[in-house]
Amino acid sequence: MDISCKSRVNISSSKGIISRSDCFAEKSVLCASNGLLSNVVNFKDENQAMKSRIFAPKHNWMEITSIDVDYWKMDGGVAFGVIPKSLWKKVYPEDTDNLIRITTRALLIQTAEKKILIDTGMGDKRGEKYYTYKYRFGGEGLLNPLAKAGLSPADITDIVFTHLHDDHVGGATYLNEDNESVELFPNARYWCSASHWEWSKSSNKREAAAYFHDNLSPLELSGRLHLIKKEGEWIDGIRFRIFNGHTRGQLIPVIKVKEQTLVFAADFIPSRANIPISYIPAVDIEPLQTMKEKEAFLEEALAGNFILMFQHDYFHEACRLELSEKGIIAGNAIKIEELN
């Protein structure tokens, strides 16, 4: 069995983080090297490995900041799938030519120990034609919001990628003077689900255009890529859930903010208008799976009084859910800054 691995891409079969060069250890680790998922490594002494596991001390302080990285437009038919325009325009306003305004919203999480980003937006590595095709019309970017928080890219300790489509991962890298794609965040650990990383390498003709080699290669070569094999609390205060309808292995962070539960819904439920079960984007690879996952999750979220944060909703950052005669619906809009 070849267990050599350039990257410290470590995945435990249960709680814990395993690294070839760190003390974190449990029963098994999955390594990624040269774009391939390698063999599972079994540690000889599991009891010793368990004893060596080190967790950062827990702190109550947490501050969260919503960042509208990119503003762009999408065809309303893409955003709502089989739902006719006569219905979706009642819940999400049309801009022009059947387009709707959307955003790619990131989340900055600051604690005493960590500075965490969830997703990074499109970035600027593509040519003008690409961004014209996306109808991009501005946004905050990443550098200015980080500076307002007193941070630089070097201060970010962790970046969680919900998935690896270009509008979610592109901003983690940039083109240097030699036109090479390099990391923007030199000290960050990168988190992604193992199933989605593998999927991005051998996707399908319908989805393959969303994955770019210059987005993923620098992350893989960094030595700080962590692939999550199972759901769990891999970062203190953040539990990762995995859903498969939009794309295989989409990672959904569930964050404890004081006594509240905030769900970064990513492309699972991209906007407030996508809450109804059948309002599913046309780009989801398994729409029936999305319906099944969403129906179960909405019941859970209602019972748990979860707050849903919408990554692509230009008009609403977040809301809770309510039960009406028609079923589960969106509650009043919430601003993320209100949760601090």
The tokens 């398994």 sit on which residue?
286
Report d(CA 71, CA 136) in Å as an integer.
Answer: 6
The tokens 């046309």 sit on which residue?
282
Strand partners, 118: 107, 160
| 92-101, 200-209, 291-300: the lowest-pLDDT one | 200-209
Confidence at residue 59, expressed as pLDDT on a 0 to 100 scale: 54
Q: Which helix (H) or strand (E) holds 295?
A: helix 287-304
The tokens 């601090």 sit on which residue?
340
Report d(CA 334, CA 339) in Å as an integer.
Answer: 9
Structure tokens at 137: 């019309």
Confidence at residue 67, expressed as pLDDT on a 0 to 100 scale: 98
Q: Binning pLDDT at 50, 70 and 90, where does residue 12 land? A: very low
Confidence at residue 6, expressed as pLDDT on a 0 to 100 scale: 36
Biggest CA–CA distance in the chain, Å, is: 63
- % of the chain residues with pLDDT over 90: 81
Q: In this predicted model, what pLDDT tens digit does every residue of 118-167 receive, in sequence order?
A: 999 999 999 999 999 999 999 999 999 999 999 999 999 999 999 999 99
Q: In this predicted model, what pLDDT tens digit does every residue of 174-190 receive, in sequence order?
A: 999 999 999 999 999 99
Q: Give DSSP secondary structure letters for 37-77.
A: EEEEEEPS-HHHHHHH---PPP-S-EEEEEEEEEEEEEEHH
Report d(CA 22, CA 43) in Å as an integer.
Answer: 14
Whether residue 8 is predicted with pLDDT greater than 60 in this model: the reply is no
Report d(CA 287, CA 297) in Å as an integer.
Answer: 15
Whether residue 340 is predicted with pLDDT greater than 60 in this model: the reply is yes
Domain ranges of the chain: 1-55, 67-339
Report d(CA 6, CA 37) in Å as an integer.
Answer: 12
Q: In this predicted model, what pLDDT tens digit does every residue of 44-95 receive, in sequence order?
A: 333 333 333 334 445 578 999 999 999 999 999 999 999 999 999 999 999 9
Confidence at residue 40, expressed as pLDDT on a 0 to 100 scale: 28
Coil, strand or helix at 240: strand
Report d(CA 329, CA 275) in Å as an integer.
Answer: 7
- % of the chain residues with pLDDT over 70: 83
| 23-37, 90-104, 280-294, 297-311: the lowest-pLDDT one | 23-37
What does pLDDT average to over the chain?
A: 86
Whether residue 112 is predicted with pLDDT greater than 80 in this model: the reply is yes
Confidence at residue 62, expressed as pLDDT on a 0 to 100 scale: 95
The tokens 């498969």 sit on which residue?
244
Confidence at residue 18, expressed as pLDDT on a 0 to 100 scale: 34
Q: In this predicted model, what pLDDT tens digit does every residue of 13-53 receive, in sequence order?
A: 444 343 323 333 333 334 443 333 332 222 233 333 333 33
Confidence at residue 203, expressed as pLDDT on a 0 to 100 scale: 82
Confidence at residue 60, expressed as pLDDT on a 0 to 100 scale: 75
Confidence at residue 273, expressed as pLDDT on a 0 to 100 scale: 98
Q: Supply the CATH classification number for the domain 67-339.
A: 3.60.15.10
Report d(CA 10, CA 296) in Å as an integer.
Answer: 30
Whether residue 261 is predicted with pLDDT greater than 70 in this model: the reply is yes
Whether residue 299 is predicted with pLDDT greater than 50 in this model: the reply is yes
Averaged pLDDT for residues 198-213: 93
